[in-house]
Amino acid sequence: MTHCLIISLLIAALLYTSGCRPAPSPKATVFRPIAPRVLDADNALAEARALVALGPRAAGTPGARHAAGHLLVRLQVVGVQSALDVFTDETPAGKTTFWNVMGVIPAAGRRADKAPWIFLGSHFDTKSGLGAGFEGANDSASSSGLLLELARVLQAAGPLPVNIGIAFFDGEECRHSYTARDGLHGSRHAARALCLNRRVDQVRAVIILDMIGDRDLTVTIPRNSTSDLVSRVFRAAAAEKVREKFKLMAGALLDDHQPFLEAGMPSIVLIDFEYGSAPGRNDYWHTPQDTLAKLSAESLGIVGRIVIRMLNDLMMEAR
């Protein structure tokens, strides 16, 4: 059995546990939009701190394996059906073991295996070669902490009209430069599995979070994002009265949304690629300066509320 089938089997197994239950009454499955303010930004920051406290999380190391186990437990604590997807992939260092963490919040009111999908994702690995004290606070603990908080909110939200996939990807960081064998390992593995499982047409959106905790938040959306999702971000930002904190990049960016885009799934990455010592600079990225002291709950809350507004729009259309 090939490892790229594991996610297919995982999704099927997680959906089976809900699909075999008696269908809830129609009244119980009425979707009510989620109030953005239910998101606890302080909790998101606390989750980021807990991940940083584990130490560096470079792919293929015991630190990455330990971090994956931690994220799995945190998902299970809030009631999300979840499992590890362990696979190997070729890298510049040879065959390497990766640890994706996958969770599912099944749709209610109909067979979950027929319902649309929305995936939320974050990588959790850190750049290698930056020393034993490297925190990787903004890249990637900030997005992972927020994703855990979003999972808690969505699990507690009541009946949803779509399946929500929660994905923590290993191996986003490249060792040298991004190629087919270097970087984006977890997201490429997940995208391939969705193709093999013939679920591409069911995927309404893939929303990737990365580097979104900077106190001086400027979310720079790359041009290689699905235009409809970009428009939804800007509308949500306007509704939250933070439109000035979101803008389009001048060009494209390789990140974990790219494999899903290439497979035909609407995808976007929300990333602050101006993480530095002065406006427009990115000089804290992949350096020891990427520390918890530079994160803020306010920034995590802004991005989290934008995601909730996007999800509300998408789920209202999917009813």
Task: Give the residue extent of every domain in the chain.
Answer: 3-15+43-318
Quote the pLDDT of residue 28: 47
* Topology adopted by domain 3-15+43-318: Aminopeptidase (3.40.630)
Quote the pLDDT of residue 30: 80
Quote the pLDDT of residue 99: 98
Tens digits of residue pLDDT in 182-211: 999 999 999 999 999 889 999 999 999 999
Strands 163-169 and 94-105 come out as antiparallel
Using alpha carbons only, give the angle 302, 305, 309 rounded to the nearest 5 degrees: 140
Quote the pLDDT of residue 14: 53
Quote the pLDDT of residue 134: 95
The model's pTM: 0.93
The single residue listed with the structure tokens 């855990």 is 148
Please tell me the number of Cα atoms within 13 Å of 247 on its side-chain side: 11
**Chain centre to alpha carbon of residue 297:** 18
**Distance between CA atoms of residues 153 and 146, nearest Å:** 11
Per DSSP, 179 falls in state: B
Closest to 148 (Cα-Cα) out of 46, 75, 226, 54: 75
In the predicted model, residues of the chain with pLDDT beneath 50 are 1-6, 15-28
Specify the DSSP element, H or E, that contains 45: helix 41-52
> How much is the CA Rg of the chain, to the nearest whole Å?
18
**What three-state secondary structure class fits 97?**
strand
Quote the pLDDT of residue 11: 61
Residue 140 and residue 56 in contact, taking contact as beta carbons nearer than 8 Å: no
